Structure 1
C-alpha cells in the first residue's frame, strides 16, 4: 500500500514523493493468514446459509430466484462473495478486488421490477455486518492482531462498495434497456394511432388537412390492437386525445418535460405528442409550461381513433408557423386559429379565386387598390354604413363614402350577390392573414 507525502515530507524538497504505508495485515505471519483463510473458507457454506436466513428474516419480501440447478441466486451470490473475499485476503489486501458478476444480476433484477436500489444496499450492509462478526471470531481464534483485523474490516467495506457498484451497473443497464423498450413501444403505439394517414406516420407534413381512412378499416379491431401495445407501457386508453407537432428550437434541444401519460416521439423531424383527455382541468397549462421555448401547435380534441385528424391539423398549423403566418415561440391551439387554417393552406385555390374576384383592383394603383380592398373588407365584415366602416378603419366617414362609391363602380352587381360577397370576404381575409392588408 502506498501514499504520496506532502510538500514538506522528508527529502521531498517541496515536491510530492511516494512513500510506503505500513500494512498491519502484511506483518501477520503467512502461516496465520493461511490458518485464518482455511477456517474462514470452511465456514463459508454455513455462513452463507446463516446470512441468507437472517436477511430473509429482516427482509421477507426479498424474492428467492433459483438458478438452473434450483439453488437460490441470492445464496450463490453470498457464497461467491465470501469465497472471493477470503481469496483476496489471502493474496494480499492491496490486490484489486474481484466481484461476482451475479451482483450485476441483482441490480438488473431490481431495475426490471421498477424498484430502487435502497433495499438492496441495506441487504448488502446487513450481510457484510454478519460476515464480519464471524470473521472477527475466527481472527480471535487464530490470534490475528487487532490492527490487522481493523485493516481487514476496512478492506471488507471497500469490497462492499464494489458489490454495490456492480449492482448499480446492472441496474443502470436494465433501466436503459427498459427505457429503450418503452420508447420503441410508445413509437409503435403512436404509429398505430396515426395509421389512417401515411403522411402522418412519416412525420406530419404541412398541407391541407384531409379526412384519413378510419383506423382498422379493412379488417381487425383497432381498439384491441391499440390496447395490447398500450398495456405493455401502462398507458390507459383515453376516450379523447389531441395531437401536437413541435418545431425544434435547436438540434440538441432537450425534450419537453411532459407528464408521464403524454406520448412523446422525438425521433421525427417534427417531434409529436399525443395528449390524453386534453380538456382535463389544468392539462393545457401544464402542457404549455412543459413546451416552453418550443414552437408548435396542438390539434383539435378528437376521439382516440381519429388521432390522425388532430395530427393533420397540428401539422398544417406548424407549416404556417414555419412560413411566418402564425406566431412562433409558443404552443398554439389550432382551434384558436381556425380562420388561418381554413384559408391559408389551400393556396392555389385561394390565389386563383383572388385573381378572379379582385381583378377590378388592377385598374387602380397599388396604394389606392390596397385602401379600397381594406374598405371593402371592413364593409363586408360590418355591413354597416359609412360611420361604422370609418370607425373600423380610423378614417373620416366622407372618405369611406367616396371609396364605397368607387367600389360599387368597380364591382357593380357583384356587390348585391350573396355568393360573390362571400367569396370576396374569403379572399380579402386571406390577404389580411398573409399581412397584405391591415
Structure 2
C-alpha cells in the first residue's frame, strides 16, 4: 500500500524556513492577542503569574506556538505537545470550577486566531494551498494533544475535589451522628455544612442501606442528600424528608437497593433516626421485615418496638404463656391465636370468629379453655396487656398466623 504524498514535504526547504522565521517573529504578538481575546471572552479567567511576573497562560500559549512552528520547520518530524504546562492549566480550570466545555472553547478560540495568522504568513511565504491545508490538519492534531493533557489535569483536579468533599461530608455526618453533642455542636455543624455547600435543614431522616452487590454503583440520590458509601452498610442523611416529592425521588434513586429510613427528627437528633434505621436493617437481615426494598421505620413501628427486646419478651412469654405447656403444639398455637384475636377485638365469639375465619362455636369452645387455663388472671388488665405484647411479638416472628380479616 503506497503512502499518500505529502504536500508539505514538497515545499522547498528555504520556503519553509522563511515561513518559520515569519511565524517565530509573530509569536509574541500572536500570544498577546490570544490572551487578550480570552480575557475578553472569559473576564473571570484568573491570571496567575510566574516567578518573573509574566502570566503563566501567556507563557503557555507562546510556548505552544513556538513548539508547533519549530517542529514543522523540520520536515519529517512529528509535532509533539509541550509537557506539563497545559496539564497544569487544565488542573487550574478544574480547581476553579469551570467546565470542560469552557476549557475546550478556550482552545478553539486560540486555534482559530492562530490559524488565521498562520494563513496570512503562508501567503507571504508563498506556501501552496495544499501544503497549508496539510498544516491545518497537523494543527488540529496538535490541538487534540493539548486538550488531552489539559483534560488529564482537569480530571485529576476534579477527582481531588470530589475526594476532599467526600472527606468533609463524612466529617459532617460523623458530627451529626454523635449521641451526646458537644457544647459547640451548632457552630461546628454550620461550619462543616458550609464547607461542603450543604444547606442546613431543620428536620432530617437517616437511612441505612444494604448493598445489592459488593461493587454496586452508589444510588443517584442528589447532592442535597448526604451519602457515605465507605460503610459496609452505607448511610445517608435525607433533609426535609416530608417535603413534597422527596419520597418519590428517593424511591426512584434507590431502585435496586434495600434498607431502612429512620423517622424524621430535628437535625441535632440525627443519631436517634440512625439508631432506628439500624434496628430495622437488622430485622431485615433476620427476615423479620420485608427485604428487597427501602422501608420507612414509621410504617413498621410495631415490629421495631416488639422484636428487638428479644430476651425480655422471651422471658415474659415463658411466664405468661406457661398454661399452654399443658397442650399439644398445634392446639396451643390455635388457642394462642384465639387469645390474641380476643385481646385485640375485645369482642365476643362472633367478632373473634370473623377475625380468625372460623365458626363462632369453635371460638366459644376455645375461649372456655382459655379461661380454664388462666383463670381469674385473664381478667387482670396488666396481665392482658402482657399477653397481647408477647403474642403480637410471636405473630411478627411468624410463630402465629396473621389475622385473616381486618
Please give the range of the TM-score, normalised by the shorter of the 2 chains: over 0.9
Q: 1:93, CA displacement in angstroms?
A: 5.6
Instruction: Output aligned runs, 1:9-20, within 5 Å.
Output: 19-20=2-3
- The match for 1:204 is none
Q: Does 1:339 align with 2:302?
A: yes
CA contact (8 A) 2:81 2:146 kept: no
Q: Aligned partners of 1:263, 1:292: CA distance in 2, in Å?
A: 18
Select 1:150's aligned residue among 133, 141, 164. Answer: 133
Q: Does 1:270 align with 2:233?
A: yes
CA contact (8 A) 2:68 2:79 kept: no
Q: Does 1:72 align with 2:38?
A: no
Select 1:287's aligned residue among 250, 261, 265. Answer: 250
Moved more, 115-124 or 383-392: 115-124
Q: Does 1:32 align with 2:19?
A: no
Q: Aligned partners of 2:365, 2:124: CA distance in 1, in Å?
A: 117
Moved more, 55-64 or 253-262: 55-64
* Superposition CA RMSD, Å: 1.5
So what's the TM-score if we normalise by structure 2? 0.95
CA contact (8 A) 1:242 1:300 kept: yes
C-alpha distance after superposition, 1:280-325 (max 9, x if no partner): 1111121122112212110011111111110010000010011111
C-alpha distance after superposition, 1:339-383 (max 9, x if no partner): 111110111001000101001000000011001000110111111
Q: Secondary structure at the match of 1:20?
A: coil
Q: Aligned partners of 2:383, 2:285: CA distance in 1, in Å?
A: 32
- The match for 1:248 is 211
Q: 1:132, CA displacement in angstroms?
A: 2.0
Q: Aligned partners of 1:154, 1:142: CA distance in 2, in Å?
A: 19
- The match for 2:181 is 215
Q: 1:409, CA displacement in angstroms?
A: 0.8
- How many residues align? The count is 401
Gaps of 5+ in 2: 402-406
Q: Aligned partners of 1:411, 1:435: CA distance in 2, in Å?
A: 24
Select 2:160's aligned residue among 177, 181, 184. Answer: 177
C-alpha distance after superposition, 1:245-297 (max 9, x if no partner): 11111112221110210011111111111001111111112112211221211
Q: 1:232, CA displacement in angstroms?
A: 1.1
C-alpha distance after superposition, 1:172-211 (max 9, x if no partner): 1111111111111111111111122xxxxxxxxxxxxxxx
Q: Aligned partners of 1:77, 1:84: CA distance in 2, in Å?
A: 11
Q: Aligned partners of 1:338, 1:93: CA distance in 2, in Å?
A: 78
Q: 1:338, CA displacement in angstroms?
A: 0.8
Q: 1:100, CA displacement in angstroms?
A: 4.2
Q: Secondary structure at the match of 1:326?
A: coil
Q: Does 1:192 align with 2:158?
A: no
Q: Aligned partners of 2:215, 2:32: CA distance in 1, in Å?
A: 52
